A and B are shown apart, each in its own frame.
Chain A
Amino acid sequence: DTGVSQDPRHKITKRGQNVTFRCDPISEHNRLYWYRQTLGQGPEFLTYFQNEAQLEKSRLLSDRFSAERPKGSFSTLEIQRTEQGDSAMYLCASSLDRGRWNEQFFGPGTRLTVL
Chain B
Amino acid sequence: GDSVTQMEGPVTLSEEAFLTINCTYTATGYPSLFWYVQYPGEGLQLLLKATKADDKGSNKGFEATYRKETTSFHLEKGSVQVSDSAVYFCALRGGPGTASKLTFGTGTRLQVTL
Contact = CB atoms under 8 A, between A and B. Distances in A.
A43 B96 contact: no
A61 to B, nearest CB: 12
B43 A106 contact: yes
B11 interface: no
Interface residues of B, number: 23
B102 interface: yes
B102 A107 contact: no
Nearest to B101: A45
Contacts of A44: 104
B46 A108 contact: no
A107 B42 CA distance: 9
Contact of B101 (A33, A91, A107): A33
Interface of B: 4, 32, 36, 42-46, 49, 51, 89, 91, 95-96, 99-107
